[in-house]
Amino acid sequence: MPDAPGLELIAHEINSRHEGAIVGTAFEHGQAVLLADPGLIRETLGFLRDEPAHAYRFLASVHGADYLPAAPRFAVHYELLNMPRVERLRVKALLADPGDDGLPELDSVVDLFPTADFQEREAHDFFGIVFRGHPDLRRILMPEDYVGWPQRRDFPIGGEPVIFTATEDTVPGWTR
């Protein structure tokens, strides 16, 4: 992991190259996080990958998350790894919820990191995040005709209620 001052230096360096690409940093539990502007996520990741001083060339994981009560509702996390130095760095792109009229959008990084292919499809499948420029953005785990984004926090967990004695009158038709 880069330490906290190192993280600030990285953020400053990216911001001097691409204005406004990094909107903040966080350093908690020994893990470094860069808060990135989703519009410039390709520039940020491309810089971290190609700049010889950083060279985070391995993308360990891409995943989405839904922070429902929070204001920028969605986030996509990129877990970067520099193998020779064994340094991990998380880039977090916060995405606002466009509401009913659309889906949150973000540029795909499949051509920078081919490993993002399946994982971006997974984030799309579960959270409805659209990755612009992804070669094959379809549902990956749910059936292709499924409606809804099942891992959003406002999506019901589903399943069937288990009926206990205490709850049986809440189940319609059970006590009739």
Q: What are the two backbone dihedrals, phi and then psi, of residue 46, each rounded to the nearest 5 degrees? A: -65, -40
Which tokens go with 100?
A: 């009913």
Restricting to residues 34-63, which ones interact with another protein according to CB under 8 A? 39, 42-43, 46, 57-61, 63
Q: Which residue lies nearer to another protein by CB, 136 or 169?
A: 136
Instruction: Work out how close the CB of 30 gets to another protein at its nearest, in angstroms, rounded to a whole number.
Output: 8
Sign of CA dihedral 61, 32, 89, 87: negative
Q: Which one among 73, 93, 107, 120 touches another protein, defined by CB under 8 A?
A: 107
Which residue in the block uniquely carries the two structure tokens 């350093």?
27
The answer to whether the CB of 32 falls within 8 A of the CB of 89 is yes
Is 24 one of the binding residues for another protein (CB under 8 A)? Answer: no
β-pair type (105-107, 130-132): parallel
Residues that bind another protein (CB under 8 A): 17-18, 28-31, 33, 39, 42-43, 46, 57-61, 63, 65-67, 77, 79, 83, 86, 88, 90, 107, 110-115, 117-119, 122, 124-126, 130, 132-148, 150-151, 153, 155-160, 162
